[in-house]
Amino acid sequence: MNSGTRCLIQRKEDYYLSTFYENYSPQGLRIHSDLLLALSSFFAEGGEKIPHTLGPLVRSCTPFSNHFKLENLQLPLETLLNCSKADRDEYRLMTYEFNRLFVGPTAPLAPLYESVYLSPDHLIMGEQTLAVRKIYQQENLQAQGHGHEPDDFIATELEFTAYLLSRIMEAQDTMNDIKIQHYKDLYHDFWEQHPSLWLGLFAQRLRQSTHHPVFSALSEVLDTLTTLHTH
């Protein structure tokens, strides 16, 4: 996996919606992958690291919005950019809000795990957790937080999606059509069976629960990612 990854380790508007899956240019794949990795890092590093993770998120969102001509991201991007220039006191508020939404000490308002949104009992470590673990294992990967962080953690799912895009790019470099198709199929299947089913629900919960504009803007980015993958 790429050196910028953190959650996994090796071993153990109409036209653009319709063409998103077909856009496998190296530039498009890299831009998409960079955004996924920046989002992954934002959630994985935690509230205390927002001063370090928000800037890269802004820098990855901008080319993503431009490449896919996403006018709906202009205002969220402006918000993220302004928040990235915040002073120390404002960053403390973002850290507090991150923890209130995702960590605790009280029950998180917008949990970061797929099974909370899709399992019948809405608890962590549901069947979705085991399902994504099996998919990681097919690629000889395992979650770095295995044992204390469920495998359906949002940061891990986003990073795995970026990993699959990186494998498509590698196969394109060597013109290996079999591997290209294999990783396209795996990417489609994983996204449609996992992130696409719950990221929209998570974004809605986040938007309804937050008191800070940076997280409202983040919810719009996540919503847009889900929409782009809609056939």
- Sign of the alpha-carbon torsion through 56, 153, 130, 230: negative
pLDDT of residue 122: 80
pLDDT of residue 144: 74
- Over the stretch 79-124, which tens digit does the pLDDT of each residue have? 999 999 999 999 999 999 999 999 988 999 999 999 999 988 888 8
Q: Indicate the residue type of 149.
A: E
User: Integer distance in angstroms from the first to the last C-alpha of the chain?
Assistant: 29
| Beta strand segments in the chain, E | 8-10, 141-143
- Over the stretch 179-205, which tens digit does the pLDDT of each residue have? 999 999 999 999 999 999 999 999 999
Pairwise CA distance, residues 190 & 164, whole Å: 9
Q: Label residue 125 by pLDDT band (50, 70, 90).
A: confident
Q: Label residue 229 by pLDDT band (50, 70, 90).
A: low
Q: Which tokens go with 98?
A: 């991150």
CA distances for 160 relative to 74, 97, 121, 135, angstroms? 27, 26, 26, 10
CATH class of 8-228: mainly alpha
Give the contacts of 87 (CB within 8 A, at least 6 positions apart): none
pLDDT of residue 222: 97
CB atoms within 10 A of CB 165: 23
- Over the stretch 8-52, which tens digit does the pLDDT of each residue have? 533 334 334 434 555 578 899 999 999 999 999 999 999 999 999
CA distances for 172 relative to 26, 76, 164, 166, 178, angstroms? 8, 33, 12, 10, 10
DSSP string, 162-217: HHHHHHHHHHHHTT-HHHHHHHHHHHHHHHHHTHHHHHHHHHHHHHHH-SSHHHHH
CB 182 within 8 A of CB 219: no
- Over the stretch 150-183, which tens digit does the pLDDT of each residue have? 999 999 999 999 999 999 999 999 999 999 999 9
Give the contacts of 131 (CB within 8 A, at least 6 positions apart): 193, 194
pLDDT of residue 159: 96
Q: For residue 89, give the H/E element and its range.
A: helix 88-102
Is the predicted pLDDT of residue 2 greater than 60, yes or no? no
Q: Label residue 54 by pLDDT band (50, 70, 90).
A: very high
